[in-house]
Structure 1
Amino acid sequence: MERNSGILLHPTSLPDSPICGTFGSPARAWLNGLAENGIGVWQFLPLAPPDPLGSPYSSPSSFAFNPWFLDENDLVRDGFLAGNIKKFASEFEGFEKRVDFQLANSKVKVLSSSLIDNWEKQDTTIKEEFEFWCKKQFWLDDHSIFMELRIQNNNLPWWEWPENFAVYDKHELAEWKIDYQKELLGHNLIQWHLDRQWKSIRKLANKLGIFLFGDVPFYVSKDSADVWSNRSLFSILTTSETYLQSGVPPDYFSETGQLWGNPVYRWSRHKANKYRWWRKRISRHLDQVDFLRLDHFRALEAFWAIPGKDKTAENGFWLPSPGKEILGLIKKDCGGSLPLVAEDLGLITSKVEKLRDDYELAGMKILQFAFDGNLNNPYLPENIKDENWIVYTGTHDNSTSLGWWKEIDQDKKEQIKNIIRDSDNFSSWDLISVGMNTRAKLFVAPMQDLLNLDDCSRLNKPGTIEGNWSWRLNKYDLNIKEALYKYGNLAKRYKR
């Protein structure tokens, strides 16, 4: 990729659809808006189903799409739903200012039921295409069974299900599947249509010359189809208890560290089958995007393992990871190139940097982290000396740039005065201009910064459980077009 500019916006935040953005006209309009203004990269968060709090980083599936993204209007257009959609539409009238998770899940139930009801009307060619697709998706059967069992068990985690299902007994499941073919068909149809719609979006992006920049979490949720059906690959006892869990050690920001609670990987089991699960996971994601951010990259070199019953991360310890072997195999799988980006933020060791550099992966630089008075700060614009970086104003986990400015002390503001035009009237665009002017090959700004929004519009605040993952653009906001136009012009000025 040549010198370029991008925008970070998750599909849930797209405007012009009820409840949340979809893989239909909202995504097409967004891509066309980027192309019209010469913006070459669309970055988003994992496209996986979210957890009950809306987070796509703790998904019940590493391979499935989020059903919220299914576009009902495209389903009608393509003949998969009845043309009279009034009854469906009336249940979800109005455009939500924020994503309503409960409403989004209700929409999925209605779509699933309607797709099942209309399935018998489809012609043989369509049904054969669907069956062929299903057979190629090694993950689909476990995903659909897991999601249906979850519904039938009142959304309890799998280790609280009846024992014959909790232990993933294939004989019991084969018997159970006979009685729930219709329900499983609904889950499969949802994923097939999502796959169809996303392929259409990717085809349009390619036609418009826009790169799709995805994201994959390092760990997976314990309450997921992945762990339930592959327990031996994770730090799970036969009693279903986690004996080692993930997190990061205590640091300047937290005296007790961060306890994430996901089971860590049993790398010896992965090595025994040549890291097949990991390779299939990355392959699945790279089928969907042009390049992929690997979250918590440092855990590919070594990871912080915390005893399973601990309530903080303080008593954890470092264990080695086989990152070199995994990256080497993925590189072979990709035909010699490695379209991955290392999320290398935080306290990174020289060994982690070497692993990143040995595979020529781009790393990340966050401008909000730059101004601590240290002239050797690696995030300072003048210290970004080569191209193989992606520079951001901030990420989905940070304050918006305007929110950040309001929070920092006067000493930091004084440091920044020499690189922005007017510190008394700060705008996010001041930081955007700084990022655009760096040597990094790619600069990305969250959409909130293009609209100069404060922290009322931030997407996620780590360590909190309410109000996250629900922000979205207002379809009636005329500033969106103006912001894209301004951003595109700025990119041209800096030859991006």
Structure 2
Amino acid sequence: MTFSRASGLLAHITSLPSPYGIGDLGPAACRFADFLQSAGQTLWQVLPLGVTSYGDSPYQSFSTFAGNHYLISPELLIADGLLTDADIPALAFDAQRVDFGSVIPWKMTVLRAAWRNYQASPPAALKKEFATFCKQHAWLDDFALFVACKFHFIAARQNDYETPEYQSYYQRLAGRLSDNQIKDCYYGAVWNSWPAELAARNPKALSHWRKTLADDVTFYQFLQFLFFRQWGQLKTYANERGIRLIGDIPIFVAFDSADVWANQSLFCLDAAGDPNEVAGVPPDYFSATGQLWGNPLYDWAKHQEQDFAWWIDRIAALLATTDIVRIDHFRAFAAYWAVPFGEATAVNGQWKKSPGKALFAAIEKALGKNLPIIAEDLGIITPDVTALREKLGLPGMKVLQFAFDADAASDHLPHNYPDSRTVVYTGTHDNDTTLGWYGAANDKARDYFRRYLNTSGEAAGWDLIRLAWSTNAVFAIAPVQDVLGAGAQARMNTPGTASGNWQYRFSADALNSGQAEGLKYLSQLYGRNGLSTSAP
């Protein structure tokens, strides 16, 4: 894919303003697209859109294919005749943070009401659309059954730690996980704590539970229909205004997911379904003990035996719903950090090779060459990673906040970019806001920043936006927090921490015409006027 110089903002859907405690796919999302258009921007990057699980991270989802039903807009459901104002319980929400503990049960109450209303009197056109949707998505049945079973067992398991089932589960994991971790897994109904025949996907067990939980299964199918219907409407709205959506795909999937449960042979699991090793990264910029993500690792030999069909489906699904795909942790396609299951940190891992060349050859054969993909190649990047990215012709990433801690040789400094095949960010969802970063940086880094940009540093966020827009990178992107001049309290995620993340929201009046004019001026000044999607 040949990209032309363009720019835009990173803003996850959850961060958008709404009256319901969490950003959604409704009117505020369209207003954000309007802001981008008025600001002369043509890119809108979001984080992964899957259903979040424990910890609320979009990088740990119940499914790589399914959408996050917590992002469904009640306002659009009212417009569709699926809800009335009386169906929406009154509850005061924090306009600046997402309180997932209160938002999720509230949202599920609203969505259940929409389901009951649909069942009572399904609009003919909507009923036909729903039926068509169910036929089009092969992953849907497994996902809906997975979620229905999971929440059935969560409801059934009270805090009674004396049951034989729990004791058996505890004995299996004792010494590998802490007591609290084992309890969290069991009472969170992780799939391999289910009855053995269901965990193993015995056909009779699957049939039994589909019948037993039939209404819940159809309910979760319905939520997926609503999500993708609303997402499709938003994408059309944005595209009509010249905005292209950049989606995000984590290289790994969550262990507690329909992906792993439905495809156990494709992952490195033992006979009980527990991981042999898990994913992470060694000690790095963010953590002295590395990052222990806990995702199961792929059995790459099995994937290769199947011509990487699961991966092809995965990439195709995201390309069908976004305009450009950012692949998170691209370096693991060359080699990945494998940590023995049960380790407390990621320190005691080892690098293992991946069949990246064969995988992408299969993807290109199935989906075509020159796909609109961005490779997130941050972290410990070895020559084999760079060689793979360059062979595929994919743009990598640079982060300006990383540029000032070393010296003039830093490859994140714009004067060292070898060519335009890169996407430059002021910061990402894993960084502090630029204002927060600047305030916490050491004196040497701040001094270098001020001298490099010939600035006072008083508006560090806009200073880095201007620098990013001026580079030779094909795309320049800034988190919306930097446009707003937000400090460290607006940080989206702190890697290596298990709680308090993914909560940032901005208010409905935060973005204004002055910011739009500033962005538009920079995009015109530095020739970031649009996006070409023509192949070379």
Q: TM-score, normalised by structure 1?
A: 0.95
Equivalence for 1:90: 89
Equivalence for 2:304: 271
For 1:46 and 1:280, the matched residues in 2 are separated by 16
3-state SS of the aligned residue for 1:490?
Answer: helix
Equivalence for 2:168: none
3-state SS of the aligned residue for 1:315?
Answer: coil
Equivalence for 2:206: 173
For 2:443 and 2:347, the matched residues in 1 are separated by 33
Query: Which runs of 5 or more structure 2 residues have no equivalent in the other structure?
Result: 155-187, 529-536
For 2:352 and 2:386, the matched residues in 1 are separated by 17
- Considering only aligned residues, what root-mean-square deviation do their CA atoms show, in Å? 1.8
Equivalence for 2:108: 109
Give the CA deviation at 1:55.
0.5
Give the letter aligned to residue 143 of structure 1. Answer: F
Q: Which has the higher contact order (CA 8 A, sep 6+)?
A: 2
For 1:257 and 1:467, the matched residues in 2 are separated by 19
For 2:291 and 2:80, the matched residues in 1 are separated by 47
Matches within 5 A, 1:73-472: 73-79=75-81, 81-82=82-83, 85-93=84-92, 96-120=95-119, 121-154=121-154, 155-251=188-284, 254-423=287-456, 425-472=458-505
2:529 aligned with 1:494: no
Cα distance per residue 1:166-199 (max 9 Å; x no partner): 2222211212211222111111111001111111
Cα distance per residue 1:191-214 (max 9 Å; x no partner): 001111111111112211111001
Give the CA deviation at 1:311.
2.4
Query: Which runs of 5 or more structure 1 residues have no equivalent in the other structure?
Result: none
Give the CA deviation at 1:163.
2.2
Deviates more, 1:346-355 or 1:333-342: 333-342
Cα distance per residue 1:330-362 (max 9 Å; x no partner): 223333222111100112111110100111101
For 2:103 and 2:337, the matched residues in 1 are separated by 35
C-alpha spacing 1:394/1:241, structure 2 compared with 1 (3 Å): same
Q: Say whether the 8 Å CA contact 1:112–1:189 is kept in structure 2.
A: no
C-alpha spacing 1:93/1:315, structure 2 compared with 1 (3 Å): closer
For 2:42 and 2:426, the matched residues in 1 are separated by 17
For 1:134 and 1:181, the matched residues in 2 are separated by 15
Q: Say whether the 8 Å CA contact 1:220–1:262 is kept in structure 2.
A: yes
Give the CA deviation at 1:22.
1.2
Equivalence for 1:62: 64
For 2:514 and 2:492, the matched residues in 1 are separated by 22
Aligned residues: 492
For 2:482 and 2:36, the matched residues in 1 are separated by 16
For 1:373 and 1:318, the matched residues in 2 are separated by 26
For 2:238 and 2:286, the matched residues in 1 are separated by 39
For 1:190 and 1:325, the matched residues in 2 are separated by 36
Give the CA deviation at 1:421.
3.8
Give the CA deviation at 1:322.
1.0
Give the CA deviation at 1:254.
4.5
Q: Say whether the 8 Å CA contact 2:52–2:60 is kept in structure 1.
A: yes
Deviates more, 1:109-118 or 1:241-250: 109-118
For 1:242 and 1:31, the matched residues in 2 are separated by 42
Give the CA deviation at 1:428.
1.1
Q: TM-score, normalised by structure 2?
A: 0.88
For 1:403 and 1:113, the matched residues in 2 are separated by 40
Cα distance per residue 1:388-447 (max 9 Å; x no partner): 111011101001111111111111222222232432534311111111111111100001
Give the letter aligned to residue 484 of structure 1. Answer: A
For 1:296 and 1:230, the matched residues in 2 are separated by 22
Cα distance per residue 1:188-241 (max 9 Å; x no partner): 111001111111111112211111001011111111111111111111111122
Give the CA deviation at 1:315.
2.8
C-alpha spacing 1:15/1:253, structure 2 compared with 1 (3 Å): closer
Equivalence for 1:33: 35
Deviates more, 1:387-396 or 1:91-100: 91-100
Q: Say whether the 8 Å CA contact 2:330–2:375 is kept in structure 1.
A: yes
Give the CA deviation at 1:114.
2.0
For 1:394 and 1:75, the matched residues in 2 are separated by 35
For 1:402 and 1:105, the matched residues in 2 are separated by 31
Q: Say whether the 8 Å CA contact 1:158–1:166 is kept in structure 2.
A: yes
Deviates more, 1:86-95 or 1:32-41: 86-95
Give the CA deviation at 1:40.
0.5
For 1:439 and 1:407, the matched residues in 2 are separated by 28
For 1:43 and 1:237, the matched residues in 2 are separated by 37
Q: Say whether the 8 Å CA contact 1:338–1:359 is kept in structure 2.
A: no
Deviates more, 1:418-427 or 1:363-372: 418-427
Give the percent of matched residue pairs that are identical in Structure 1 and Structure 2.
37
Give the CA deviation at 1:124.
4.2
For 2:481 and 2:352, the matched residues in 1 are separated by 38
Q: Say whether the 8 Å CA contact 1:342–1:364 is kept in structure 2.
A: yes
3-state SS of the aligned residue for 1:306?
Answer: strand
Give the CA deviation at 1:96.
3.2
Deviates more, 1:438-447 or 1:418-427: 418-427
C-alpha spacing 1:255/1:201, structure 2 compared with 1 (3 Å): closer
Give the CA deviation at 1:379.
0.5
For 2:460 and 2:403, the matched residues in 1 are separated by 17
For 2:90 and 2:316, the matched residues in 1 are separated by 38
Deviates more, 1:126-135 or 1:253-262: 253-262
For 1:373 and 1:72, the matched residues in 2 are separated by 48
Give the CA deviation at 1:251.
4.8
Give the CA deviation at 1:385.
3.6
Cα distance per residue 1:126-149 (max 9 Å; x no partner): 323312211221111111111111
For 2:241 and 2:404, the matched residues in 1 are separated by 37
Q: Say whether the 8 Å CA contact 1:17–1:95 is kept in structure 2.
A: no
Q: Say whether the 8 Å CA contact 2:433–2:491 is kept in structure 1.
A: yes
For 1:470 and 1:255, the matched residues in 2 are separated by 25
